[in-house]
Structure 1
């Protein structure tokens, strides 16, 4: 019972257990974050390295600060990668070999998940302990979590990051994996001990499109409010060589058709600021030549050229963590033109830097961005609507500053990684307490 009670501690103090009072230490125990297809140690902006990677890494770091011993598991995709990356004293990424040690598109990774489960169990055996709780991320990882629950006692928490039921509504040809993904997502919602929705809109999609069963709790995504917002606009512009009076529009994210970059480029071509020497569009994101993101980048550059925008559009490439705050701060407006986003990390990063956001009125962006308060929402893939929204902010700098200030306040109050970690800790602690009670109450079998 002592070990079971040890898992319940949410902070140092005295806790009652029946008629006994027990002192618990600040060590909350071990926790596994599983992100098969999103390496927490990857460079953000590479192919299929975006919001999920940021979420898992930052949640892991914040949970470690609160007393958890966090191991983040992902699939190894390069023989040169380290097997273990230590991010902080109690937070590390562990890369497991499952299938060929090379990049594999997410839609092609399902067949290697049984091997991932075996490698996870082998790691536990090697370390001499089992994780009482796993927090899985994306549908591939949810399958891993459900399989592990069949093999050992544990509590599973899951964050979807993207729902196939939503994604597949906007594609003309379903991938071969579609039926499998939909079935796994439904099974996870109905069997996981807790589902974490990052917005009310995502919860609504789960209920309407996936299943009416299951336990859902809303915990938004977060951002680093110390790092984001650490530099003033004019200081950022001086650092980046951007003219003081320039009208700067910024996109940050992967090169993927679903991110709606083409819509943004065509909106800029329709802007009434087009032809003004002060207008700038920066499209920031990494890509690999010959891969899907590299081909999308080439396609966008072709559109830029066809529209005669070469003089005002720049591609700064993948931005490092150190560079991001300066680019966000330098912009007059940050645009998130995605066809769908469960949450939209870029939006809150921009808001944390005091930059107003124009975003598609889809998914969690409807929760993240408050229309006319922290930015503007417009129909997805509507070039004219995006052009009008961008122009409204560029044409009224004082209002843009006001939107940015309120956006910063909103993020400070509810969307720091620390606040996200506190809310997740509450969920974890309740589930582990249930495990301890169930274990104590479980009838003993006579020898």
Structure 2
């Protein structure tokens, strides 16, 4: 089968350049790349269609085509859109998708169209809607996130809805999402919760029925087991083992031989790292049995130098510093940055060899790939019960980690004490096996292919009319 992934925001290249350096270069790009590579490995032709960027700040994305080494079936195709080829954030792309990008994609393919498109995020989704309208080629839609939920989260803290609309263009985004989920052959979601909670939002109810299971496919993302696995080997393993050991010893002294509870995420308040530190502070037993390590991405030493942190991160850093000082946790809590998946995986493997536990205490986690990567690397996992981990880490057959209430420091502490205790080996083995059985990119690709095959089947249903803005017939974008 010949498939085309539509992903105009961010970009792709063999080196994964700028990944995580900008909001448009996040997990969505990893997802698209890994599914495409897995489908290519299975013998399918896959094109990743993105936007051509000819910009000295982003020099890696100026060629029309690119390839991943060893992946002959996968192409990166960059299609121009906009008055210039300078980098544009996703919020600024909407009018150029209609005016340029979709038209240029059609011209690129001519009569040699793919068998199906798959649209990613609202921008890739509306492009798929228009291409289906113009060519008849069906598509699946993967939202990754939906605008209505983001709007709900921002509104309580916003002084003016108009200011939010000017920054994020929620009107056009939500209109594009509604058309995408309505016109798609199948909507691909990562969890049942995503379908039941996000697609059931009132802003989408007349676009798709979240209770109509024929309109959805639950296809979880996967873990890259070449990188994140207990038995994987990397050229940086020794370097990272030494680095982690030295940083922990420098911060904790004689306690350096204790197991480590490790968290790895942005210091964003919604990730609730402060809640994890409060849980650690609440439990003398936990303090006696383990140190606490916070891996903070690009922030190398946030407790002493938060100069490069965002305002939100500084808020969380102040919260954490306060807990450490009030509870006398100096010499027990260490924080430093690790950048790059290979280095992070090597650190996980090293910590797993010493009985470490991974903690994800986010207030809500839509899917939760990070705890699965940690589990594959050999760590026992303690994770929020709110969101995806409630499906990935427990089922009718057993539990593969410990679920906790992220709003209750004592429940978090109890979960960590349990994972560090006599059940560590059982939990670590069960978590790793769970990933191997259900959460690999090969499994994700199989689910994607099944969804595409369903989308190819002719069906009759009522379709929403396409807003004139998306047809290039009006200059005013849709309003909220």
TM-score, reference length from structure 1 = 0.77
Task: Return structure 1 stretches of 4+ with deviation > 6 angstroms.
Answer: 232-236, 287-293
Q: What is the aligned counterpart of 1:389 among 411, 415, 420? A: 415
Tell me the distance in 1 between the aligned counterparts of 2:107 and 2:306: 40
- 1:12 is matched with none
RMSD: 3.5
| DSSP-derived class of the 2:411 partner | helix
Tell me the distance in 1 between the aligned counterparts of 2:307 and 2:135: 39
Q: CA deviation at 1:97?
A: 4.4
CA contact (8 A) 1:287 1:297 kept: no
| DSSP-derived class of the 1:195 partner | strand
Tell me the distance in 2 between the aligned counterparts of 1:182 and 1:82: 28
Tell me the distance in 2 between the aligned counterparts of 1:82 and 1:373: 44
Say if 2:21 is the partner of 1:46: yes
Say if 2:297 is the partner of 1:305: no
Say if 2:335 is the partner of 1:314: yes
Matching of residues 51-200 of structure 1 within 5 Å: 51-75=27-51, 76=53, 78-83=57-62, 84-87=65-68, 88-99=71-82, 106-107=90-91, 109-115=93-99, 118-126=100-108, 128=110, 129-171=112-154, 172=156, 173=158, 175-176=164-165, 177-200=169-192
Give the gaps of 5 or more residues in structure 1. Answer: 1-27, 436-447
TM-score, reference length from structure 2 = 0.72
Tell me the distance in 2 between the aligned counterparts of 1:36 and 1:290: 33
CA contact (8 A) 2:7 2:120 kept: yes
- 2:293 is matched with 281
Between Structure 1 and Structure 2, how many residues are aligned?
Answer: 402
- 1:336 is matched with 360
Tell me the distance in 2 between the aligned counterparts of 1:282 and 1:71: 38
Tell me the distance in 1 between the aligned counterparts of 2:263 and 2:11: 23
CA contact (8 A) 2:17 2:60 kept: no
Q: CA deviation at 1:195?
A: 0.4
Q: Which moved more, 1:403-412 or 1:353-362?
A: 353-362
Cα distance 1:260–1:112, how it changes in 2: closer, same or farther (>3 A)? Answer: farther
- 1:13 is matched with none
Tell me the distance in 2 between the aligned counterparts of 1:290 and 1:34: 37
| DSSP-derived class of the 1:322 partner | helix
Cα distance 1:153–1:409, how it changes in 2: closer, same or farther (>3 A)? Answer: same
Give the gaps of 5 or more residues in structure 2. Answer: 250-255, 460-480
1:306-353 per-residue CA deviation (whole Å, 9 max, x = no partner) reads 3336642222232x2322322223252222233333311112111212
Q: Which moved more, 1:61-70 or 1:40-49?
A: 40-49
CA contact (8 A) 1:223 1:417 kept: yes
| DSSP-derived class of the 1:402 partner | helix
Tell me the distance in 2 between the aligned counterparts of 1:96 and 1:293: 34
Q: CA deviation at 1:159?
A: 1.3
Q: CA deviation at 1:245?
A: 3.2
- 1:204 is matched with 196
Q: CA deviation at 1:183?
A: 3.5
Tell me the distance in 2 between the aligned counterparts of 1:153 and 1:400: 54
Cα distance 1:386–1:183, how it changes in 2: closer, same or farther (>3 A)? Answer: farther
Tell me the distance in 1 between the aligned counterparts of 2:295 and 2:284: 20
CA contact (8 A) 1:51 1:344 kept: no
Q: CA deviation at 1:70?
A: 1.5
- 1:409 is matched with 433
